[in-house]
Structure 1
Amino acid sequence: MANTYFSFKSFTVHQDKAAMKVCTDACLFGAWASLHALKPETKRILDIGTGTGLLSLMLAQFTTATIEAIDIDENAMLQAKENFTASPWKEQLSVYHQSLEEYMRGQHKKFDLIISNPPFFENQLKSAQHNRNLAMHSHQFSLSLLAGGMADLLSEDGIGAVLLPYQRTEEWKQVASKENLILFHTCHVKQTQDHSFFRSFFLLRKKKKEENTSGTEIQEEISIKTGLDYSPECKTILKDYYLAF
């Protein structure tokens, strides 16, 4: 049975209500996004599919921006609300029980950063647990919807940050391109140097007028572990969050 909470240096994530628990790749993504996507001018952030609220809390640790989070699962929304309220940044954080489509209706705000760890397993076998289905399967959520939402809700200089399975990298690039979103920083993640890549992190922005879509893209790789220990690069990225580092 998964632990009912996960303690970080500056906050605690309770996860007894949420179907998807705190995991290393999501933590690494949140820390990586905080490092590369947060800017001094970041004033408004949207977290799509917040789950426990993990990514919002990781960002809040290093910004004074207002952060809005949404989730289609009511239990996840309640979990995130509980975690936000117990955090040092409760005044910055808010969460809504809405799908992205519902949230976008009548929405006129633009965001300087939109972050998402979306449902993964489109058109694959569904589990018997409804909440886990909502969290892990994208039968109610597509990459096209995510890209379209980012294109609509990002400010002109805003940044989108997305975590996906590595095998969906090319699909995401094509979907993003159709929405005139340019990927400018990609990070592929593997468990160890001996494993294949299993996750990818992406930063993207809106295409400028007359801009060539084949711009320069930063590409990097991270291994989570070296032997039985976390890798030096992983420790560096997570040092401000993990109690063990």
Structure 2
Amino acid sequence: MANTFFQFKQFTVHQALCAMKVCTDACIQGAYTARYLNQNNLSVPAILDLGAGTGLLSLLLAQQTTSDITAVELDPGAARQATENFALSPWSDRLQLMQTDIRKLEASSTYNFIITNPPFYEDALKSGQAEKDQAMHATNLSYNELLRAINSLLAADGEISVLLPYQAFNSFMTLALQSNLFLKQRLDIRQTTSHSYFRTVGIFSRVATGTAVEELSIHDTSRNYTPEFIELLKPYYLYL
């Protein structure tokens, strides 16, 4: 049985009500995106987290920025869990949760930055668990629908961060380009230095530019965390 909570240095993520639990690749996305914002001195007063789940990404960004963050989650259990996690965090005044379908989200205002860990594995075999399938498969929300929502909610000078399986990332990148979203930075992730890449984090902008490519191995060949992983996650992980 999965742990019902995950303890970070400055906050706790309770996850008993969520189909998808805290995972390392999502932690990497949140930490990498926060570092990107800070290293580039980007002012992002309003951040939108699409598909919040436990609220993990919002909490990771809240720790390292001063932004107001709005998270959107469709599943009632996950929405309740994220709301509770936000309320228990040190940044409750800057975090809010909206339980709705992002396709129905009205663009009454736009956001300076959008982060999303969207459904994975459009063509993969489903697990048979409805909540987990909804979270993991692009059955209820296609990449095209996600991009339409992003385009309607993203400010003219805004940027987005997306986490996808490595093999699926190129397909998403092609669709993003058709929506005039250009890949600015990417991080290819592998489990160990001897494994192939399995996840990619991409930062997209409305402005065409060159792409900076980085890579990250979580473990070395002895299954110890690599120095690069430790440096990235040290602000968050309890025992780093």
Other-structure match for 1:190: 190
Runs (5+) with no aligned partner, structure 1:
208-212
Shift of 1:122: 1.1
Choose from 229, 233, 237 the match for 1:238.
233
Other-structure match for 1:223: 217
Other-structure match for 1:69: 71
- Aligned partners of 1:69 and 1:30: how far apart in 2? 14
Other-structure match for 1:210: none
Secondary structure of residue in 1 paired with 2:192: coil
CA contact (8 A) 1:120 1:164 kept: yes
Other-structure match for 1:109: 109
How many aligned residue pairs are there?
A: 237
TM-score, normalised relative to structure 1: 0.94
Alignment deviations for residues 201-235 of structure 1 (CA, whole Å, 9 cap, x no partner): 0001113xxxxx4x310001100011221110000
CA contact (8 A) 2:192 2:223 kept: no
Alignment deviations for residues 148-185 of structure 1 (CA, whole Å, 9 cap, x no partner): 22222111221100000000121011100010001100
Other-structure match for 2:45: 43
Q: Say which is worse superposed, 66-75 or 50-59, in terms of deviation.
A: 66-75
Secondary structure of residue in 1 paired with 2:125: coil
CA contact (8 A) 1:52 1:80 kept: yes
- Aligned partners of 1:37 and 1:138: how far apart in 2? 28
- Aligned partners of 2:149 and 2:215: how far apart in 1? 27
Other-structure match for 1:202: 202
- Aligned partners of 1:41 and 1:186: how far apart in 2? 20
Choose from 87, 91, 94 the match for 1:89.
91
Secondary structure of residue in 2 paired with 1:203: strand
Alignment deviations for residues 16-58 of structure 1 (CA, whole Å, 9 cap, x no partner): 0000000111111110000003545210000000000000000
Alignment deviations for residues 57-103 of structure 1 (CA, whole Å, 9 cap, x no partner): 00000122111101111111011001001000111111111111011
Alignment deviations for residues 137-157 of structure 1 (CA, whole Å, 9 cap, x no partner): 110111112222222211122
Secondary structure of residue in 2 paired with 1:187: strand
CA contact (8 A) 2:50 2:114 kept: yes
Other-structure match for 1:145: 145
Q: Which runs of 4+ in 1 moved over 4 A?
A: none
Q: Percent identity?
A: 42
Letter in 2 for 1:232: P
Q: Please, what is the CA RMSD of the aligned residues?
A: 1.1
CA contact (8 A) 1:151 1:206 kept: no
CA contact (8 A) 1:18 1:75 kept: yes
Other-structure match for 1:155: 155
Runs (5+) with no aligned partner, structure 2:
none
